[in-house]
Amino acid sequence: MIARGLLGSVLVLLGGLVVSVLPPSNDLDALPLRHDTPGRLVGLAVVILGLGLLGMAWLELLRVVRRGAGDLVLVNRATAWWAAPLLVAPAMFSRDGWSYAAQGVMTRLGYSPYETGPSILGGPIVEAVDPLWMDTTAPYGPIPLMWGALAAGLTHDPWELVVAHRLLAVAGLVLLAHAVPRLADACGRDRVYAAALVLPGPLMLAHGVAGLHNDLLMVGLMAMALVVAIEQRWVLAASLGGLAAAVKLPGGLVCIAVALVSLPLVASRADRVRRLVLVAAVSVGVLVATGVASGLGVGWVHALGVPGVARTPLSITTQLGQLLSWVQQVADLPGPYPVDVVRLLGTLAALAFAAWMALRAPTGVPSAAVWTTGLVALVLVVLGPVVHHWYALWALPFLAAVRLGPRADATLVGVVGLTGLVAPLDSTLRARGTDIAVAVVLVVGVALTQVVAHRRAVAAPLRQPVGG
């Protein structure tokens, strides 16, 4: 099982050297396979095969754990082995990692990423940055920029800086390894199964580790904030919530649950509002202090709309807005641009839901606080103006830690497996029709194979598990 997953990760790494975007000045970019269609398709097939093997190994791990034959040591060992080959990979399934590297160098050189884009730099550091983000400012908090500046003091090599940022993502994974079992304990959920669902899953490995997105560190800090809040240390928990927001602003939403769980079971409306205000004051104070200490300030607030430049097919509000825009054009109707309107309404609805949960969710109940965090994060993603596969990381640790019904649990397993498997269909393959068509066929084939094999294994008579 562990060997199969490790082989899958190695294949993802090897195939990624062919299909991932690299700086043209890097020697590996000269590989013949990278610059012709048959070569790219071979690399793509290797990546999807690797993701398929990882998914099969993960499903087997879930079955072993469900039958009571696995423990946290097995889960953590599988996570470590399966993640290890991906640590040295280039930025995969997204070009965001190259942007992180460039923003770190900018910060190191004294240019504020909150005032200008990577185009102010020259040379290899910006060669692989997505042109869409070359002239846009950074919508991230100061923590990843501070880390990037620190790494840029050691090297200006883009690949090495990507690896350095991946270590920041791994720090988030370590935080989750500590927090998820404890959140599951507080919710009456099997701690080993919850950890197995989150840590070594295809979503985590493909997008959190290989994709090295800041979202992983953000959600790790969110989970730790909730663990500390359940232990009735709400000031420290609020501080961790502020640090989560200092990575990406949505991380601050955990402060709602921090306030709720730190109150007694019977709390008045006035007590609830008072605690919410106090928690917000602490978290905002930490957020602002982090910006001041970094010398970057809070200029990222003005760049929060930058991700909205992208039109992602997973965003329901964007798709609905585009449909209404088509109707507006066909009928020659006056009025504002529907995409902007629907996106704004979706965001306002998500924030209104968060406020409603803050005022109505139970207080003093750990499981309710964890559920609230997962549900608010999920609604924010579903109604968000921009949605990527890795945004599922926002809700995953919290939904995995609460007790779900069989159908909801199966749905969560499916989402974790599928979002990892379809990782090659993201921006890396943009504008390559042949690659996308082949990827879709391969993904569907691997997914169907996994579903059939998993159902047969679940239906098979119980037998002694084979060691990893």
pLDDT tens digits, one per residue of 335-370: 788 888 999 999 999 999 999 999 999 999 999 999
Please write down the HEC assignment for all residues of the chain.
CHHHHHHHHHHHHHHHHHHCCCCCCCHHHHCHHHHCHHHHHHHHHHHHHHHHHHHHHHHHHHHHHHCCCCCHHHHHHHHHHHHHHHHHCCCCCCCHHHHHHHHHHHHHCCCCCCCCCHHHCCCHHHCCCCHHHCCCCCCCCHHHHHHHHHHHCCCCCHHHHHHHHHHHHHHHHHHHHHHHHHHHHHHCCCHHHHHHHHCCCHHHHHHHHHCCCHHHHHHHHHHHHHHHHHCCCHHHHHHHHHHHHCCCHHHHHHHHHHHHHCCCCCCCHHHHHHHHHHHHHHHHHHHHHHHHHHCCCCHHHHHCCHHHHCCCCCCHHHHHHHHHHHHHHHHCCCCCCHHHHHHHHHHHHHHHHHHHHHHHCCCCCHHHHHHHHHHHHHHHHHCCCCCCHHHHHHCHHHHHHCCCCHHHHHHHHHHHHHHHHCHHHCHHHCCCHHHHHHHHHHHHHHHHHHHHHHHHHHHCCCCCCCCC
Residue 41 has a pLDDT of 87
CA dihedral (442, 448, 453, 458) positive or negative: positive
Residue 423 has a pLDDT of 87
Residue 304 has a pLDDT of 67
Contacts of 121 (CB under 8 A, 6+ apart): 102, 105, 106, 109, 111
**Do 25 and 127 touch, CB atoms closer than 8 A?**
yes
For the cut 70, the answer to whether the pLDDT of residue 430 exceeds it is no
For the cut 60, the answer to whether the pLDDT of residue 85 exceeds it is yes
pLDDT in tens, 271-312: 999 999 999 999 999 999 999 988 888 776 766 666 667 778
Q: Which residue has the higher pLDDT, 261 or 446?
A: 261
For the cut 50, the answer to whether the pLDDT of residue 58 exceeds it is yes
Measured N-to-C along each axis, helices 191-198 and 72-83 cross at an angle, to the nearest 10 degrees, of 10
- What are the angstrom distances between the C-alpha of 106 and each of 96, 127, 142, 150, 297? 15, 14, 13, 11, 15
Q: What is the largest CA-CA distance in the chain?
A: 68
pLDDT average, residue stretch 235-251 = 95
pLDDT in tens, 136-155: 888 889 999 999 999 999 99
**Do 83 and 9 touch, CB atoms closer than 8 A?**
yes
Instruction: Give dist(CA 148, CA 153) in Å, integer.
Output: 9
pLDDT in tens, 8-18: 999 999 999 99
Residue 59 has a pLDDT of 93
Residue 138 has a pLDDT of 87
Residue 190 identity: D
Residue 289 has a pLDDT of 93
Please choose, from the candidates 168, 297, 164, the residue with its C-alpha nearest in 3D space to the C-alpha of residue 221. Answer: 168
pLDDT average, residue stretch 73-84 = 96
**Do 255 and 238 touch, CB atoms closer than 8 A?**
yes
pLDDT interval class at 62 (50, 70, 90):
very high
**Do 417 and 59 touch, CB atoms closer than 8 A?**
yes
- Counting residues of the chain whose pLDDT is more than 70, the rounded percentage is 94
Measured N-to-C along each axis, helices 366-382 and 158-187 cross at an angle, to the nearest 10 degrees, of 140
pLDDT in tens, 148-200: 999 999 999 999 999 999 999 999 999 999 999 999 999 999 999 999 999 99
pLDDT in tens, 86-115: 999 999 998 999 999 999 999 999 999 988
Domain spans, the chain:
2-459
pLDDT average, residue stretch 382-411 = 93
For the cut 90, the answer to whether the pLDDT of residue 399 exceeds it is yes
Residue 467 has a pLDDT of 42
